Amino acid sequence: MTSPLQQKLKITGPTVITANRLTDGVVVWLTAESGWSDTLSRAAVVSTPDDALRLLGIANADENHAVGAYPARVTVADDGSLAPVNLRERIRVGGPTVALPGAAA
């Protein structure tokens, strides 16, 4: 869970590229169509450093839509569904693990 921005690019399995949407900071993932989705299941998955670097290059070139792109490990289930590997990414996918105070306005 060390900040991904401080990690070297080390690809050890299925990996997606994630970032935050410029306009509102919402968590997004790079899709196979080189766009961004706020749904992890639509993320493009790669497994090699070269492919991850290529996607990262696409992501970084699109910083007017999403910022702070980095690779994140995922698991791929038999049915193809994706799940984040570590707690940090699970929180980014699912939101805070605690109930938000009060009702949303």
Instruction: Give the residues lining the site for another protein (CB under 8 A).
Output: 1-3, 20, 22-27, 63-64, 67-68, 85-88, 91-92, 95-98, 100-105
Residue 32 or 57: the one with the smaller Cβ distance to another protein is 57
CA angle 72, 74, 76 (to 5 degrees): 155
Query: How deeply is 15 buried, as exposed, middle or buried, from its count of CB atoms within 10 A (0-12, 13-18, 19+)?
Result: buried
CB of 102 to another protein, least distance (A): 3
Residue 42 or 92: the one with the smaller Cβ distance to another protein is 92
CB of 103 to another protein, least distance (A): 6
